[in-house]
Amino acid sequence: MFLAALCLLIMGVNVWVLIDHLLTIDIPPALLYTMKIRIMHYLFNVMMTWGIILEKLRICSMPALFQTLHDTLLIKRSYNVEVTQLCFGEIPVRLFQPKAASSGLRRGMIFYHGGSGIIGSLECYHSFCSLLTKKTDSVILAVGYRKLPAYPHPYGIQDCIAASIHFLKDPKAYGVDPSRVVLCGDSMGGTAVAVILQNVLGRPDLPRIRAQILIYPVLQLVNLQLPSHLQNHNVPFITRNLLLNCLCRYLNIDSSWKDALLTGAFIPPDIWMKYKKFVGSDNIPEKFRKNIQQPEFPGPFNKAAYLEAKHFLDVGISPLVADDEVIAQLPEALLVSMNRDIFRDDTLLYKKRLEEQGVLVTWYNLEDGFHGCILLFHKILSFPCTWSIINAIVSFTKGI
């Protein structure tokens, strides 16, 4: 009897997730292999839902379940490169080095993975870093920062900063030319790239970073009503609902403040007047905001919401709002955005800021790309957009 009830429960939850997926998720025609995306996003939601259920039952946390399944199910390959497990203090890192001998020091890359502080790990990005090492003939250091459930912000970014400084103080020890170090990250890893660059600027004890590579990065949490948020709020794999849930978890905000975050009610009028020129929707090119009914933003100021979420306005979380003097010192950039991604406009705004301050930018905006696709390049899980990103990174890196 218990077994039958359990089976019914499992089937009921899975069917409910399927119905919700079919009723709410929008997969635009521009995204290729729509059925494959639907199946993958459904499975993603099933894992997320069961994680939440088990969390409420106090069996295990949602992040712990998701991380375990994610690391177990993803294919892991080393692509004939040398991989070394290290620890910088208590921070686990993974060093990827070409096996072929080199006549001199190689270019180096520090890589920060995405995952909203909930998923993502050295394990699930192992194949990607290995492939990138082989194709670019570079040394790659991947940083395994702390995540939820035990470590909300700022533990993760603190680990990334500490590991980066440790590496940059003696890159030659790892066979890396100090003048050719690139910082690279996807999604929240892109946030880490921007934040770390601003933290190490002008330090005489560290080499100057040669370039930055940001793949569909998250660069500001001030304006969540940008055109890309309105256009793509139900497009896989980051929907508006998932975004708000992740933000509340990772930044330790009570979920009752979701509406205030979404409407910008936590932003004081004087701060908005300062930041509007950086993150206002008017900064997005017209072709990316056609047929969008832009709501009034920000909403009426709520002081209680500000006291709860004022750290969203800090450059440590929203590096896009740094002063012009800081942005002007940043290195050459490769920026990759997905046209049907909720975070597309973060990249467009960053591109605008960099170019206005004279920083050289190479930009790719993929029509067939979706958030999180960078890991999907294995056989039946492969997508053309993933290889477009990989090829762009390889071409850019080889030019360093």
Q: What ranges in the chain are assigned the alpha helix state H?
A: 2-24, 34-56, 62-73, 126-136, 155-168, 188-200, 227-231, 240-250, 258-263, 269-279, 303-309, 324-327, 344-356, 384-398
Which residues are annotated as catalytic?
187, 341, 371
Cα–Cα distance for residue pair 201/209, rounded to 1 Å: 9
Strand partners, 213: 184, 334
Query: Is there a contact between 338 and 216 (Cβ–Cβ < 8 Å)?
Result: yes
Q: Name the token pair of 194.
A: 């921007």
Residue 287 CA: distances (Å) to CA of 64, 227, 235, 283, 398: 41, 11, 19, 12, 32
Residues 6+ apart with CB under 8 A from 380: none
Tokens representing 168 are 């940059």
Determine the distance from the C-alpha atom of residue 286 to the mean position of all C-alpha atoms in its chain, rounded to a whole number: 25
Q: How far apart are CA 364 and CA 38, in angstroms?
A: 25
85-95 burial code (b ≥16 CB/10 A, e <16): eeebeebbbbb
Listed residue (240, 239, 242, 236) closest to 370, CA to CA = 236
Measured over the CA atoms of residue 28, residue 30, residue 35 and residue 40, the dihedral's sign is negative
- C-alpha angle with apex 206: 204 to 212, nearest 5 degrees? 120
